[in-house]
């Protein structure tokens, strides 16, 4: 499945970039509530760097583990930031219970990158 998701990863990263820039701009110019603005800016703070990370990982090495990590980062940042954006737009507070899922997914993805950095020279080349 991950092999077939190659077009999905750049699209996911680009969607995360679009979403974080849209909400960041909205917070700067259209949100009056300080709590809502803080939630949005926290989402942007976590989401936008993971966009760059996904693109960098895709350029680094062709491996299933790496693509899985990039997918985890993209989905994790989307879930985490999306929950904060939803809160800022008035979603019920219980929606925040899903944010840790996104954060955990991002952390495990980075752990996978750490592991890959140590074992990548021992992996067989992929086709």
Interhelix angle 99-119/34-60, rounded to 10 degrees, is 20
Domain membership flag for residue 83? yes
Residue 74 confidence (pLDDT): 96
Whether 3 is in a domain gets the answer no
Question: 72, 85, 78, 79: which is closest to 113 by C-alpha?
Answer: 72
How far is Cα of residue 118 from the mean position of the Cα atoms in its chain?
23
* Whole-angstrom distance, CA of residue 97 vs CA of residue 52: 26
The low-confidence residues of the chain, meaning pLDDT below 70, are: 1-6, 123-127
- Number of structural domains, the chain? 1
Structural domain includes residue 30:
yes
pLDDT of residue 70: 95
What domain range is 45 assigned to? 9-118
Amino acid 2: pLDDT = 47
64 assigned to some structural domain: yes
Residue 127 lies in a domain: no
Tell me what pLDDT residue 127 has. Answer: 60
pLDDT at 71: 96
pTM given for the model: 0.86
Reported as a single tens digit per residue, the pLDDT across 87-100 is 999 999 999 999 99
**pLDDT for position 102:** 97
């Amino acid at each position: 499945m991950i092999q077939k998701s190659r077009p999905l990863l750049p699209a996911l990263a680009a969607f995360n970039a679009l979403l974080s820039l849209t909400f960041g701009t909205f917070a700067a110019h259209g949100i009056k509530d300080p709590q809502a603005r803080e939630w949005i800016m926290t989402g942007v703070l976590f989401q936008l760097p993971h966009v760059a990370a996904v693109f960098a990982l895709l350029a680094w090495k062709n491996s299933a583990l790496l693509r899985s990590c990039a997918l985890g980062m993209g989905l994790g940042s989307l879930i985490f930031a999306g929950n904060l954006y939803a809160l800022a737009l008035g979603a019920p507070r219980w929606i925040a219970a899903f944010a840790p899922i996104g954060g955990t997914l991002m952390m495990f993805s980075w752990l996978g990158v750490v592991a890959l950095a140590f074992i990548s020279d021992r992996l067989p080349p992929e086709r």
